[in-house]
Amino acid sequence: MDLSRFPRRVYTHGATPLEFMPRFTRALGGPQVWIKRDDMLGLAPGGNKTRKLEFLVADALAQGADTLVTCGAPQSNHCRITLTAARREGLKCRFVIEERVPNSYRVDASGNHFLFRLLGVDGITVVPAGTNMREAMQRVADEVAAAGGKAYVISGGGSNALGGLGYVACAQELQQQFYEQGVRIDRVVVGSGSSGTHGGLLAGFLGNRIGIPIVGIGVSRDPADQDPLVHQEAQAVADLLGLDMTVPREAVLTFGDYWRPKYSIPNTKMVEAVQMLARTEGILLDPVYTGKVMAGLIGLTRAGYFRADENVLFLHTGGATALHAYEPQVLGDAPVAE
């Protein structure tokens, strides 16, 4: 599919590595596990939001915006990467931060929040859990307009049809790598949150006739709530591409369980997964997303869901910066939920 007709800023040079993980595979004792290193995308340090922002920021510039407005949780990777893109482009950047866990916002917090300050964010509005984020961002955009500026509002996680194109690009990059490296992948495991990653990848796989099933691991919702979001995103991306295709409901698959007790709250399976990958392969996961997604891969392997002769690809979406906001939990020095 021709993505070159969409305006795009290039924040990563070349493809992110596709690698086999021999020591992790041995420790797991299940399928052959491969990793797509989207934690090595651009925008210091990058992650899955980098791919979405290549299209979203290009659109903001085309519309003549001078300020990016977006939203997220107090340790949002999406906010950090959006701010980094803003700095790269000479734009201003403002956040609406949703305190999903009450009293979790701290001005002196480490991790991503420290980087918000180091990168010189132009404004943070903190709102309580359950706030209508679209409206809250619009109020910030109105303030920007009242001061003579022009805001471009980026939805949570950069997940809309345009942002989802970033993961269509990833699907095409993977297809090329499978071919060049002679790799046959049986299933892909991906984190499923605001769903631009999962939905975009799915649209890219369907549109390019890549017949590899995608297994989503919910980071904040069980399948009854998550699957419709992913389906809607995949359909929106397919429509934007003019694919003239109805995304089959059964192409969307997610698992819940691993995100509990709550989005961003550490649990023992996440700690095991983060330690295991760090200590077998020297690769850093994050406590909020990829640690729980890898816990899903490990848990599904132990439950017999993946066969030993399968090649399973784990999509690493980044986020390690947030480790610093959870150091004692991740080291096992502070208690975490079951």
Ligand X SMILES: *Cc1c(COP(=O)(O)O)cnc(C)c1O
Residue 129 beta carbon to ligand X: minimum distance, rounded to whole angstroms: 17
The CA distance from 125 to 31, in Å, is: 45
Burial readout 76-114 (b: 16 or more C-beta within 10 A, e: otherwise) = bbbbbbbbbbbbebebbbbbbbbbbeeebbeeebbbbbe
Report whether 289 contacts 192 (CB < 8 A). Answer: no
Of the pair 84, 144, the CB lying nearest ligand X is at 84
Angstrom distance (rounded) from CA 278 to CA 290: 12
Q: Please give the backbone phi and psi of residue 180, each rounded to the nearest 5 degrees, phi first.
A: -65, -40
Query: Can you tell me which residue has the tokens 């990168």?
Result: 119
The nearest distance, CB 81 to ligand X, in angstroms, is 8
Say which residues have a Cβ less than 8 Å from residue 12's Cβ, sequence separation at least 6: 41, 42, 46, 50, 51, 54
Binding site for ligand X (CB under 6 A): 47-48, 77-78, 157, 159, 191-198, 286, 289-290, 317-319
Pick between residue 111 and residue 157 the one whose CB is nearest to ligand X. Answer: 157
Rounded to the nearest angstrom, the gap between the alpha carbon of residue 212 and the centroid of all alpha carbons in its chain is: 20
Residue 199, number of CB atoms within 10 A of its CB? 32
Q: Which is nearer to ligand X, 78 or 231 (CB)?
A: 78
Q: Return the residue nearest ligand X (CB atom).
A: 319
Nearer to ligand X, 144 or 263 (CB): 263
Active site residues: 76
* Smallest separation, CB 51 to ligand X (Å): 9
How many Å apart are CA 290 and CA 217, to the nearest integer? 9
State the minimum distance, in angstroms, from the CB of residue 285 to ligand X.
9
User: Could you tell me which residues come within 8 angstroms of residue 110 by beta carbon, excluding any fewer than 6 positions away?
Assistant: 324, 325
The one-letter amino acid at 287: P
User: In whole angstroms, what is the distance from residue 329 CA to residue 180 CA?
Assistant: 40
Asked whether 149 and 66 are in contact (CB, 8 A), the reply is yes
> Which CB sits closer to ligand X, 70 or 194?
194
Beta strand 18-20 with 32-37 is antiparallel
Nearest CB to ligand X, comparing residues 266 and 318? 318
Local structure of 21: helix, strand or coil = coil
- Smallest distance, Å, CB 316 to ligand X? 8
Residue with tokens 């866990």: 101
292 token code pair: 């729980």
**Closer of 256 and 318 to ligand X (Cβ):** 318
